[in-house]
Structure 1
Amino acid sequence: MLSLRNLVKVYPGPVTALRGVDLDVPKGMFGLLGPNGAGKSTLMKILSGLLEPTSGEVTLDGLDLVRHPEALRPHLGYLPQEFGFYPYLSGQDMLRYLLELKGVSAPQGMKALCAQLLERVNLTFAAKRKVKEYSGGMRQRLGIAQALAGDPKLLIVDEPTAGLDPEERQRFYRLLAEVAHERTVLLSTHIVEDVAMLCPRFAVIRHGRVMAITSPTEAKAALHDTLFEGTVPPADMAAFQQAHRVTQAVLFEGRNRVRIHAAPGTPVPPGFERTPPTLEDAYLLLMKDAPEPRAPAPTATPAPASAPAVGA
């Protein structure tokens, strides 16, 4: 179990990126969903040992990772949002280089370990191909291969599907779902579909605060019989948004299709019909309800001195 208690991060300025985050992440896949700038990447860097919190606690199976960040390394796999590869190395040579940097032990030899990892992420066919020739999805799978080395207890993946085409995204979903059976996987994303496809539970974060902890099924069930859809002329849209809680407005076949949330007993505009809620509806309503931060940065006691942070 990964546990966070009252986690705060204040950057010089001051800029408060995290405002007292409390979270328990069990074994399996868990999502962290929020817009850009919500504090997700700061949280991922703290959990991976790359950044110290201003205050708060982080424990993994009872191990204090704030006081002893060096103890995290044997248990962590990390795929950051931006991963730098040497384009002219082959996939197998790039992977071997990364594993040697991480100090991963290979009792049967590094070549054999690299072959096993490439097979696991379905890249054996491209092992000798230069990384510059890899697609975006292949690069992400290579990143997962290095993250899985050492059989980590905790795997952190930060915005892993950004930029992938639909086919590559589906392949990556299957790979993440497979590896999550054996460990805790924390998926940080701003893409609602990622959470809907992969995560039995997830937290929504905005302005450095956890707004909700729920499941896709629970989030949609909470909106049962409260979502309606209809057409609104573009010229009337501004006034319509002032009068109704609009979750989405998209063009469909050249028409402006609008989805609104109307609590029981609330009048529904003529021509609007009840429609099943989606996870995106639930997420967008949470974003609308999230209060803007008004208070100054929280006063925090600096985290205890520790050894230098250790990356993945």
Structure 2
Amino acid sequence: MIRASGLTKYYGKTKAIENVSFSIEKGEIVGLLGPNAAGKTTIMRILTCFLTPTSGTATVNNFDIWEEPEGVQKSVGYLPERNPLYEEMTVGEFLNFVAEIKGVRKKREKIQRISDVMEKCGLLNVEKKLIWKLSKGYRQRVGIAQALINNPPVLILDEPTIGLDPKQIIETRKLIRELAGERTIILSTHILPEVSMTCERVIIINEGKIVATDTVENLTAKLKGGMEITVEVEGEKEKIKECIGSIEGVEEIEFLHGRENINRFTVRTRKDRDIRKELSAKIVNSGFGLLEISLKEMSLEDVFVKLTTEE
């Protein structure tokens, strides 16, 4: 559905992206993740033919960005980070205007498309409301609706939840998930929970280059080092540390806090050692009270930091 090959873009002598290649299959929701100024928006603008690359190419829905830019643009619904709305129009008027400029001109088809996208995006109750009177969450819904108006097979959403409150984020996330399957979706964000809660796969970009592409689960498994285990134990702090330190594979014991002879530690181990069973038995058999033992899983935040700070 989407193929990028060797995309490079320079603004003067400043490199925005370099040799970016990836593929996205039909029906996937893929997160384009990276720090601010990593090159995410540049990639999206190239894929929507609002910007030409310095070198490299891409196809969207089998249309080449160089040879068939009109076909690309007809195949893509685009929500830029700065949602371009005409605030003096009502929601219905704006969607009618967008339908016209996107080539949906047959009256019956246009009425049906506007009705469909308003229902899908939860806008039927604000059809006659002026856009400037809408909340930020509803404005984002209008932005997604305009991207859907010509029923494109590809949706490209640039920071669709930025500036929204928690309730609006949940509603927008739910809407994006509901659109999955029907369409291929690229979601650009620097907000990590958005990717793990919405996307099936992630492309991580840093300083204009792709540093990883995979599912969140696979990236976590590849990058995970030794275990990080939290234990809460009743007993004397130094004796507990000595007890835990005698277990093979323990590399570090970090004291977190203690109160009334109850002490909490983080235990870090070698990559090839799962010591949880041995650790539990050792603590209990040494006469200490084991109150809690838990494994800290590597989060997307950990993966992101590791990949974007490595030399």
Same fold (TM over 0.5): yes
Query: Which fold has the larger relative contact order, with Cα–Cα distance below 8 Å and residues 6 or more apart in sequence?
Result: 1
The alpha-carbon deviation at position 267 of structure 1 amounts to 3.2
Q: TM-score, normalised by structure 1?
A: 0.76
Aligned residue in 2 for 1:80: 80
Q: Is 1:284 the equivalent of 2:268? A: no
1:287 Cα deviation from its structure 2 partner: 1.4
- Deviating more after overlay: 22-31 vs 59-68: 59-68
Which of these residues, 252, 260, 266, is aligned with residue 272 of structure 1? 266
Aligned CA distance change for structure 1 residues 62 and 127 (closer, same or farther; 3 Å): closer
Residue identity in the other structure for 2:308: M
CA positional deviation for 1:120: 1.2
Corresponding residue of 1:20 = 19
What is the letter of the counterpart of residue 156 of structure 2? I
Unaligned stretches of 5+ in structure 1? 231-263, 290-312
Whole-Å separation in 2 of the counterparts to 1:265 and 1:54:
51
Alpha carbons 1:77, 1:154 under 8 Å: kept: yes
Task: Tell me if the contact between 1:225 and 1:276 (Cα under 8 Å) persists in the aligned partners.
Answer: no
Higher alpha-carbon deviation: 64-73 or 40-49: 64-73
Who is 2:154 aligned against? 154
Q: In 1, Cα distance between the equivalents of 2:98 and 2:63?
A: 26
Measured in 2, the distance between the counterparts of 1:38 and 1:21 equals: 12
1:105, 1:150 within 8 Å by CA — same for their partners in 2? no
2:38 maps to amino acid: A
Contact 1:33/1:190 (<8 A) preserved: yes
Deviations 1:34-64 (A, max 9, x none): 0110000011100011000001010124332
- Is the contact between residue 91 and residue 127 of structure 1 (CA under 8 Å) also seen in structure 2? yes
Alpha-carbon distance in structure 2 between the residues aligned to 1:268 and 1:202:
33
What corresponds to 1:194 in structure 2?
A: 194
Show the counterpart of 2:183: 183
- The alignment partner of 1:282 has SS state of helix
Secondary structure of the residue aligned to 2:86 is coil
CA distance in 2, matches of 1:226, 1:32: 28
1:269 Cα deviation after fit: 3.4
2:87/2:132 contact within 8 Å kept: yes
What are the equivalent positions in structure 2 for 1:119-158 lying under 5 Å apart?
Answer: 119-158=119-158
The alpha-carbon distance between structure 1 residues 61 and 74, as it changes in their structure 2 partners (threshold 3 A), is closer
Cα-to-partner distance string for 1:59-83 (whole Å, 9 max, x where unaligned): 1243322222122122111000002
Contact preservation (8 Å) 1:204, 1:213: yes
Higher alpha-carbon deviation: 91-100 or 50-59 = 91-100
Asked if structure 2 preserves the Cα contact closer than 8 Å seen for 1:29 and 1:184, the reply is yes
Equivalent runs, 1:1-312 vs 2, <5 Å: 1-12=1-12, 14-27=13-26, 28-106=28-106, 108-224=108-224, 226=226, 228=228, 266-270=251-255, 271-273=265-267, 275-289=296-310
SS in 1 for 2:252: coil
Distance 1:197 1:113 in 2: 29
Deviates more, 1:184-193 or 1:60-69: 60-69
Q: Tell me how far 1:16 sits from its aligned partner.
A: 0.6
Give the Cα–Cα distance (whole angstroms) in 2 for the partners of residues 67 and 268 of structure 1: 60
Q: Which amino acid aligns with 2:178?
A: E
Number of aligned pairs?
255
Residues 66 and 219 of structure 1: is their aligned pair in 2 closer, same or farther, counting only changes over 3 Å? same
Query: Structure 2 regions of 5+ residues with no counterpart?
Result: 231-248, 256-264, 269-295
In the other structure, the counterpart of 1:245 is none
On the 8 A contact 1:31/1:199 being kept in 2, the answer is: yes
Q: SS state of the match for residue 18, structure 2?
A: strand
Measure the CA separation in 1 of the matches of 2:194 and 2:303.
Answer: 15
Contact 2:84-2:143 within 8 A present in 1 as well: no
Structure-2 change in CA distance of 1:278 and 1:20 (3 Å): same
Of stretches 54-63 and 118-127 in structure 1, the one that deviates more from structure 2 is 54-63
Q: Is the 8 A contact 2:9 2:54 kept in 1?
A: yes
Partners of 1:185 and 1:150 in 2: CA distance: 15
Give the deviation of 1:265 after TM superposition: 6.5
Q: Please give the per-residue CA displacement for 1:202-243, whole angstroms capped at 9, x wherever unaligned.
A: 11001110000111212233355646488xxxxxxxxxxxxx
Query: What amino acid does structure 1 have at the position aligned with 2:85?
Result: F
Identity %: 35
Alpha-carbon separation, structure 1, partners of 2:162 and 2:266: 34
